[in-house]
Amino acid sequence: MKARHTIYCFLVGFMGLVSIVVCLLLFDFWLFLRLPASADRTLREIIVRPGMNVTAVARLLHDEGIISDPRKFYYLCRYRQAGQRLKAGEYAFYAFSTPEQVLDRIVEGRVALHRVTVPEGFTVREIARTLNEKGLASEAMVMRYAADPGWIRSLGIESSSLEGYLFPDTYHFSRSQGEEVMLKAMVTQFRRRLPADWEQRSQELGMTLHEIVTLASLVEKEAIVDAERTRIAGVFFNRLGRGMPLQSDPTAVYDLENFSGPILWSHLKRESPYNTYRNKGLPLGPICNPGSKSIQAVLHPEKVPYLYFVSNNDGTHSFSENLQEHSRAVSRYRELRKAAASKGESPPGGFEPSGPGTVSAVQSKP
């Protein structure tokens, strides 16, 4: 009897000890689930690569200080049956995130998004370079897709290039999306942001959407002050109506890779399907990606008597009805530039001079 009693007491004591240990382990695991790895507010980024198993992901999270214990995270994944549901991608976590929050984000595939701002007037190449610099896309691949006629047609764009159709806006992309998805997002935004009356107005103007966007790209490159966009568009329409070359300086250098001003006589005389000094009418296609205001300006141009405009060296322009007035305005512009140069200043905008016939005023007579 005494032996049985001893064994019974031993078993009770052992079971009690086991219960205490289990309770302590469960409490420890409960604390792991509820408590962050640290109170540090630093953002930590990781990349879960395709094929990584739970053990590798847990170790990665621990090495980056996102979780405090990789073994417990492994057990959490087993308990939640999440081992086969971890999604590859780039993730960003604060160290004060709880392990359950971390696991939920990876299972749901809520990858890190990177803010990308495409300014009005950016070219396809500048967009490609920006995406490449942020590590989101290959510049070469962006350029390849943007010049693939078949792929462009699949987006419903009748053009040999996506130039003009990548809408200037702020986007949020993940590294895992790929070049095609990013470009499609910009084209989709272009369609969303077209003015509601664009089809009616393009018919009234006798222009296709491609022609509207092409002319809008010239307005985008020439205009700095919003109030002048419709007036500049009106000047271009006047010149088109009279059969005059548009003589927009930015068109002369558009297809020169990595060009940075100033625009010289040699640029204006070079053969190029975009050069509106050498060719009458619109250039081959858009020379940048215009914003809503420039597209709106082309759809609703201001009725003006002007045929010329030239920079005032402060972002605004002087508009002229004839070559004599324009020549005087050009002379004033050159004096302003000379004065600015003596002070070490430079004009706003990326081109000089600006406006039809500015450089070759003597050749601009209709």
DSSP 185-237: HHHHHHHHTS-TTHHHHHHHHT--HHHHHHHHHHHHHH--SGGGHHHHHHHHH
Mean pLDDT of the chain: 86
pLDDT at 126: 97
pLDDT at 358: 57
Would you say residue 173 has pLDDT above 70? yes
Would you say residue 290 has pLDDT above 90? yes
pLDDT at 278: 95
Q: How many Å apart are CA 353 and CA 350, to the nearest integer?
A: 10
State pLDDT tens for residues 232-287: 999 999 999 999 999 999 999 999 988 887 889 899 999 999 999 999 999 999 99
Cα dihedral across residues 313, 317, 318, 320: positive or negative: positive
Type of residue numbered 305: P
pLDDT at 22: 52
Q: How does residue 360 score in pLDDT terms, banded at 50, 70 and 90?
A: very low
Q: How many Å apart are CA 43 and CA 340, to the nearest integer?
A: 46
Q: How many Å apart are CA 361 and CA 346, to the nearest integer?
A: 22
Q: CB count, 10 Å around CB of 77? A: 23
pLDDT at 356: 75
Task: Identify the residue with better confidence: 210 or 65.
Answer: 210
State pLDDT tens for residues 80-104: 888 889 999 999 998 788 899 999 9
209 burial (CB, 10 Å; 0-12 / 13-18 / 19+) is middle
> What DSSP state is assigned to residue 171?
E
210 Cβ neighbours under 8 A, 6+ residues apart: 158, 159, 164, 285
**For 19-28, 57-66, 170-179, which range has the lowest pLDDT when averaged over its residues?**
19-28
Integer-rounded Cα Rg, in Å, for the chain is 32
pLDDT at 144: 97
> What DSSP state is assigned to residue 161?
S
pLDDT at 261: 74
**For 15-19, 64-68, 129-133, 331-335, which range has the lowest pLDDT when averaged over its residues?**
15-19
Backbone φ and ψ of 181, nearest 5°: -65, -40
> What DSSP state is assigned to residue 251?
G
> In the structure, how many helices (H) and strands (E) does the chain have?
14, 6
Would you say residue 349 has pLDDT above 50? no
Half-sphere exposure of 127 (CA within 13 A, CB side): 32
**Kindly report the CA angle at 357 between 237 and 348, in degrees rounded to 5?**
95
State pLDDT tens for residues 181-235: 999 999 999 999 999 999 999 999 999 999 999 999 999 999 999 999 999 999 9
- Distances in whole angstroms, Cα of residue 227 to Cα of each of 26, 194, 217, 230, 302: 69, 19, 16, 7, 11
170 Cβ neighbours under 8 A, 6+ residues apart: 115, 116, 117, 118
pLDDT at 35: 61
- Distances in whole angstroms, Cα of residue 305 to Cα of each of 235, 300, 309: 8, 16, 11
pLDDT at 362: 33
What domains are defined for the chain? 35-112 (3.30.1490.480), 114-192 (no CATH), 198-363 (no CATH)
356 Cβ neighbours under 8 A, 6+ residues apart: 235, 236, 239, 244, 245, 246, 247, 248, 307, 308, 309, 364
- The mean per-residue pLDDT over the stretch 308-334 comes to 91
**Kindly report the CA angle at 309 between 358 and 266, in degrees rounded to 5?**
20
Q: How many Å apart are CA 19 and CA 52, to the nearest integer?
A: 36
Report the candidate in 358, 324, 122 with the shortest Cα–Cα distance to residue 245. Answer: 358
Q: How many Å apart are CA 143 and CA 23, to the nearest integer?
A: 61
State pLDDT tens for residues 70-79: 998 898 898 8
Q: How many Å apart are CA 114 and CA 353, to the nearest integer?
A: 37
Task: Identify the residue with better confidence: 35 or 316.
Answer: 316
Could you list the beta-strand ranges (E) of 17-134: 43-48, 89-94, 114-117
